[in-house]
Amino acid sequence: MKKITGAAALIIAGAVTLAACSNTPTSTTGSPDQTGSGSSDVKVAFVSQVEGIPYFNGFKTGGERAAADLSITYTQTGPAKADSTEQVKILDGLVSQQYDAIAVSPLDPTSINSSLSAAASAGVKIATSDADAPESERAVFVSQASDEALGSTVMDELAKAMDGTGQFGIVSGSADTATFNNWIAAAQAQQEAEYPDMELVGGIRYTTDTAQALQEAQNLMTAFPDLKGIIAVPSTAIPGVAQAVQNGDAIGRVAVTGFGSPQTSGEFLESGAMTSTVLWDVEDLGYLTVWALNQLVTETPFEATNEVPGLDQPVSYDEATKTLLLGEPTVFTKDNYADYDF
């Protein structure tokens, strides 16, 4: 009897776990009838990596602006925490709701492939934006700035703060996020090519959240007392690493830079715990993505150089890789971060 109750409890527990997983808060920001309800019935959507963080809020602002300009309907949604299986489920849901075009920022480019193929064969135009799934059947990748440019710019910023010499560490996010890995590879390539006197120590530290990033940064500083800089890769690691530098009274001794949004980094740019942060204007990326989705739906081919109404710079298109490139990365410092609200 006791065994049976135990087994039943386990089954219930399993069921609840499953339920809890599928119930992870999904903020569907802007339901179809809310946002940019325009004259045409074109419905486009974007699946973010984590919905609700300032970065993807900025993306949404730009996307909604484009939807309003183009008179189409735009929906943005995504998992509450960076969970690639959850993201696939959200994508499948959107496909069954018959969107005309969907863009995704894949957390894991491999596991999302079959869903992308299924969507494409169901007649949905598929794009990737912000992060790519190169092996997939996506029609276009809307790239913020090339991974190479971002990685090398961060390394240049770090090198500037460390005078091009000394030990540095890298605190990354989850090990299976392709974007992070590409940035890091580019940063390392830049360091090997340009800054031979700098040395990566402690390997790449993968973390899942702020608390862990704080500990890893603290441990790196303990293990390598001569450490002069840390690159904090995801937006969850930024406050953790900067906090570790503040707690350890290492402001001015250990430079921190990374790929943080200006708002996430603002506090630490002010205190000096962060020297700079490198990203792109995410509102423009959201704008370009929605513009590109509309081009796909109307079956207008991309030119080698595209004038996008609403963006200041022309956008280049690479036929071979089917990539739209927003432009060069932006460096945010204490002096200019306040101009951006993402």
- Residue 267 within binding range of other proteins, rule CB under 8 A: yes
Residue closer to other proteins, measured from CB, 13 or 193: 13
Among 73, 128, 218, 289, binds other proteins (CB under 8 A): 218
Which range in 50-58, 122-130, 134-142, 156-164 contacts other proteins by CB under 8 A? 50-58
β 140-143/101-104 pair status = unpaired
> Which SS3 state, helix, strand or coil, does residue 208 take?
coil
- Residue 253 CA from chain centroid, whole number: 29
Report yes or no: 164 and 198 within 8 Å, Cβ to Cβ: yes
CB of 218 to other proteins, least distance (A): 5
Among 114, 211, 252, 338, binds other proteins (CB under 8 A): 211
Read off φ and ψ for residue 244, nearest 5 degrees: -60, -40
Size of the chain, expressed as the number of residues it contains: 342
- Residue 220 within binding range of other proteins, rule CB under 8 A: yes
Alpha helices in the chain (DSSP H): 2-22, 54-70, 84-96, 113-121, 147-162, 178-194, 210-223, 237-247, 262-271, 282-297
- Residue 264 within binding range of other proteins, rule CB under 8 A: yes
CB of 242 to other proteins, least distance (A): 8
Structure-block tokens of residue 337? 């971060």
- Residue located via tokens 């802007």: 30
- Residue 28 within binding range of other proteins, rule CB under 8 A: no
Helix (H) or strand (E) holding 259: none
- Residue 219 within binding range of other proteins, rule CB under 8 A: yes
Rounded CA-CA distance 342/340 in Å is 6
CB of 232 to other proteins, least distance (A): 13
Structure-block tokens of residue 265? 């980094």
Q: Taking CB under 8 A as the criterion, which residues in 139-198 touch other proteins? A: 175
Interaction mask 51-90, other proteins, x per CB under 8 A: -xxx--x----------------------xx---------
Residue closer to other proteins, measured from CB, 15 or 193: 15
Among 7, 17, 122, 163, binds other proteins (CB under 8 A): 17
Residue closer to other proteins, measured from CB, 60 or 138: 60
Report yes or no: 127 and 141 within 8 Å, Cβ to Cβ: yes
Which range in 7-15, 88-96, 176-184, 187-195 contacts other proteins by CB under 8 A? 7-15
Which range in 69-77, 94-102, 210-218, 308-316 contacts other proteins by CB under 8 A? 210-218
Read off φ and ψ for residue 188, nearest 5 degrees: -65, -40
Q: Taking CB under 8 A as the criterion, which residues in 230-249 touch other proteins? A: 236, 239-240, 243, 246-247
Structure-block tokens of residue 227? 């450490």
- Residue located via tokens 């863009």: 103
Residue closer to other proteins, measured from CB, 113 or 212: 212
- Residue 222 within binding range of other proteins, rule CB under 8 A: yes
- Residue 12 within binding range of other proteins, rule CB under 8 A: yes
User: What is the maximal distance between C-alpha atoms in the chain?
Assistant: 73
Which range in 123-131, 147-155, 219-227, 292-300 contacts other proteins by CB under 8 A? 219-227
The CA–CA distances, whole Å, from 335 to 83, 152, 226, 276, 340 equal 35, 22, 29, 10, 11
Read off φ and ψ for residue 25, nearest 5 degrees: -50, 125
- Residue 209 within binding range of other proteins, rule CB under 8 A: yes
Rg (CA), the chain: 21
- Residue located via tokens 């019935």: 41
Footprint of other proteins (CB under 8 A): 9, 12-13, 16-17, 19-20, 23-25, 27, 50, 52-54, 57, 80-81, 175, 202-203, 205-206, 208-212, 214-216, 218-220, 222-223, 225, 236, 239-240, 243, 246-247, 264, 267
